[in-house]
Amino acid sequence: MVFGGLLAVVALAAVVVAVIALAGGNGASSASHSSSSSATLAGHRTQSTVAAVQPATVTVSVLNGTDMQGLAERVSQRLISDGYRKGAVTNASNQTQTSSVVAYMAPGYRRDALAVATALKLGQTSVQQIDANTKAIACPPSQACPSAVVVTVGTDLAQQ
């Protein structure tokens, strides 16, 4: 009789294990899946905020802040291939920049500058409001300035 009870317990345990295996795993796995789904959704929200910028509506000027000839033109072509509109391409006043700067003309263009920084694989710390010297070079006072964003290329972009 004891042997029969023991056999019933073993059979019941085998059924429970089979049900768990067929149901797709344990609770920890489901929690992990749920957590990774939430992280994925959060990542999509962040990307869609930057992706909401329509590159075809953003004109970007590029200044070469290095002594590497043609670097500003290469960066400009890269942005054009991403759909951005070409602005002025010329040299910056400082030719010794190691870090690139993505400057926006007015606070309303900050989101555009963040999208340009993302396209160039630069961090948010590279984004700032434009200074008067950079603005004067990218947009000479005698000309209309269509640019919303001005990239001053540093040697960091030469390696990309």
pTM listed for this prediction: 0.68
Whether the CA torsion 151, 110, 99, 84 is positive or negative: it is negative
pLDDT, tens digit, 9 for 90 and up, residues 99-116: 999 999 999 999 999 999
Q: Domain range spanning residue 93?
A: 55-158
Beta strands per DSSP E along the chain: 59-64, 85-91, 101-104, 127-129, 149-153
pLDDT, tens digit, 9 for 90 and up, residues 44-90: 444 444 458 999 999 999 999 999 999 999 999 999 999 999 999 99
Distance CA 20, CA 23 (A): 5
Give the number of domains in the chain. Answer: 2
Residues 16, 60, single domain; the answer is no
Residues 47, 60, single domain; the answer is no
Distance CA 91, CA 62 (A): 8
Residues 127, 146, single domain; the answer is yes
Beta carbons within 8 Å of 114's beta carbon, 6+ residues apart: 50, 53, 102, 124, 127
